[in-house]
Amino acid sequence: MAPLATASRTLVARTSSTLLRPAVSARAISTSPALRDASSTFENPFKGERKSEKVPDFSKYMARNPSSVNQVFSYFMVGAMGAISAAGAKSTIQEFLKNMSASADVLAMAKVEVDLSSIPEGKNVIIKWRGKPVFIRHRTAAEIEEANKVNIQSLRDPQADSDRVKKPEWLVMLGVCTHLGCVPIGEAGDFGGWFCPCHGSHYDISGRIRKGPAPLNLEIPAYDFPEENKLVIG
């Protein structure tokens, strides 16, 4: 019995396959009596003929296009489904990841605008930005010169004054002592800059650490001057 089942299954499987050549397909259309020709390996070991042995007529399902066209079409359909699923999955994940970024109200608070025209020369202004104080100093020419005179190699955290400011007359930095996070006092200390009352760190007029326990210079936030007399921090 096995050969019959195998033969009919392979036959039908090949019928459905798009790889089938036209010559082969012509044979597949025929029913079981035609299988008994010389080329067929199928031979019923039992005598007599029964209805159940007749292979049904599958010609209705036969592909009308050449097999290669069908093949490309099938691959195209499968590939298109894959591509659209991939695009959908990508944008789904993208939307979920977007949820993790900062929300609009946080972003709106993340930038602070400062009107610089109200700050006279030689004055400090402290504003709050993201919960931290920001020191803005309108430096005088003498102070700028003093900041540039310092031998950088002698500093604990070597940094030139020009690396710390965008416009030399405006010094903008976070007012958080790099030692243990106190807020330094302006216009104080041995170097004419800032002095941290907690543990006695002295910063110079460029906010660089000169004396005391603090390891680093005062941090510079991201800021920009979009127009004259206007400062945007963040």
Query: Which residue in 22, 33, 66, 197 binds another protein (CB under 8 A)?
Result: 66
56 binds another protein per the rule CB under 8 A: yes
26 binds another protein per the rule CB under 8 A: no
Decide whether 16 or 148 has the Cβ nearer to another protein.
16
3 binds another protein per the rule CB under 8 A: no
Query: Which residue in 34, 72, 142, 152 binds another protein (CB under 8 A)?
Result: 72
The CA distance from 141 to 151, in Å, is 18
Rounded to 5 degrees, φ, ψ at 82 are -60, -45
Q: Which secondary structure element, helix H or strand E, spans residue 203, and what is its range?
A: strand 201-204
**Set 138, 179, 199, 202: catalytic member:** 199
The CA distance from 4 to 17, in Å, is 20
For the chain, give the number of residues.
Answer: 234
Residue 163: Cβ within 10 Å count: 11
Binders of another protein among residues 101 to 160 (CB under 8 A) are 104-105, 108-109, 113, 126, 128
217 is written with which tokens?
């210079």
Query: Which residue in 19, 26, 77, 102 binds another protein (CB under 8 A)?
Result: 77
Query: Which residue in 19, 26, 34, 81 binds another protein (CB under 8 A)?
Result: 81
* Helix (H) and strand (E) counts in the chain: 7, 9
179 is catalytic: no
